[in-house]
Structure 1
Amino acid sequence: MAKRNGTATTDFILLGLFPEFQYASFLVYLILLVYLIALIGNSILIFLIWMNSYLHTPMYFLLSQLSLIDLFYISSSVPNMVINHFLGKHSISRIGCGVQMFFCLTLGGAECLLLTLMSYDRFVAVCNPLHYAIIVNPKVCLLMTVASWTGGALNSLIQTIYTMHFPVCGLKEINHFFCEMPAILKLSCEDTSDYEMVVFVVSIVFILIPFTLITASYIHIFLTVLRMNSPEGRNKALATCSAHLTVVSFYLGPGIVVYMTPGSSHTTTLDQGLSMFYTILTPTLNPLIYSLRNKEVVRALKKVLRKNLISK
């Protein structure tokens, strides 16, 4: 009855990922597998950076923070979706929906800011290596981390409170697998066009400006790398930066479409598909890209495995 009569309850109904898909259970199992890979991959990367003193550098400190954000980010939506699917439960309280939205927006915003600061770290390391230790010192790294988390949290708090204050008329069915802001706004019986303009402006700050700054950083890095005389240094710089750029493309690209284009211009299926990129796929790919394409991380992993095998 709650699903049929949205005015009878304050709960929302999460319809899940692609509700019309014939093989929904197979898709959920696949996402659960991806989640486990993300959980293991990010945890191993954090552990290696924490345990290996050789990796106690600004770049790897920021990378550990990225893995930490990714762990929380993918955990803010996937476990709830999987549990709801197998229990046949689709309802989520209004408070629960707001809490989930807050964490998703906080972690998403923090990742946008952190990726931008990581590109600045690489810019200084490649373009100004002699002053790198002075410019990007431990105190600066800590400030970068605090700025990322604080900026994401403050933006999320304001947007969550404002989004959830809109009244919802009729069925409270969210055609999504988690409480994402654009999906909630579609349920409002009030005109949300003014607020959507505010969201667009905020998205410029958290998505478009970071994307522009990251692109500018890598253009400078690319030009600097081309002037390098050492093929080994050139290849190392390109490998590190290409990994970062790959992550940025997977993360910010879909975010631009979901948050910076009118909701009426794309379908719910497209929104869900794009949301999977930055909430599920990117947190899974981050540790794989950074570890498999990074000799220092691979060396640290081999060292830990060798040490454990010898001790046994």
Structure 2
Amino acid sequence: MKIFNLLLGVVLATVVTSCTLEKTDYEAELSEVATDEYVFEQAFLLTSNGYQISVEVLNGTFYKGYNEIHLFITDENNETVQNATVTFLPIRLDANEDAYSCPHAYEVGYQADNQYYLGYAVFDEVSNTNATWEFYLTVTIANETFTLQHGVTVASQPNLNLNMTSFTGNNGVQYYIALIAPVSPGVSENELIAGIYQYNEPQVPIGNFPDPTQFSFSEVQGATLLLDPRMPEPSMGNHSSPNNEDLTQGSDGLYYGVVNYTMTGNWTLNFIFQNEGGAVIKGTEVPTDFTPGITGEKSELHIDILF
């Protein structure tokens, strides 16, 4: 009996140690990709007509998903140019020279408090050997207009809390949902922020390339994103959590809700996307059954995250 108890103690100690090590490694892995620090760094610098345009993004890297973009424009005296008119168009060209874009702010507005022009791009594809992304900027200062072009590399997003999805609604419209926050969630109720965008079919014939009328996107107005977070792993039984709040649009055009993560691990954000009139455009209800040992069902519209 003493030998049995001793062996049992060794086994339990080994299991506990193993779990502890796995958890420690897991947290270390997450800390490499999830950070609360927003450090905008220069991605590239352009010079034209006596002006410099510094383009900054988070960590100096463009990622698949939502990217906030800051443009600093200075003149020959290194003075900030505050009254420029700036348009921004990201274009992706594939091996067949077919061109398409992604959700973006075409007109980039000046932010006086921060002294930069603020824009965004929601890249839906990473760069590869068969397709490249190009930025087209048009700048007008004191009735002088000049156009700049610069290639950029779009990397995979290592932080799944900033994941995205794109889909065609049952109305035939192409939509995009990109997670913006939380960057590093906690085991608690977290404010969930997302951008929801749609592609606008061209209404006029094609003009000179790159013609912005052929690559038009806009924020979806007045929609509701019903939220049902689940842990789909077989060991978790596809359980949900209390006190979640559906996402509705804020005054800045983004969508805000609350997601309650009750533990770390793999979560699926199941959505039902409703238009302004309450009609379902995409998404299905997830059964509420607790299903241990079985991979949980997901809505046809969902985003997987990990923290």
State the TM-score, normalizing by the size of structure 1.
0.21
More strand by percentage? 2
More helix by percentage? 1
State the TM-score, normalizing by the size of structure 2.
0.22
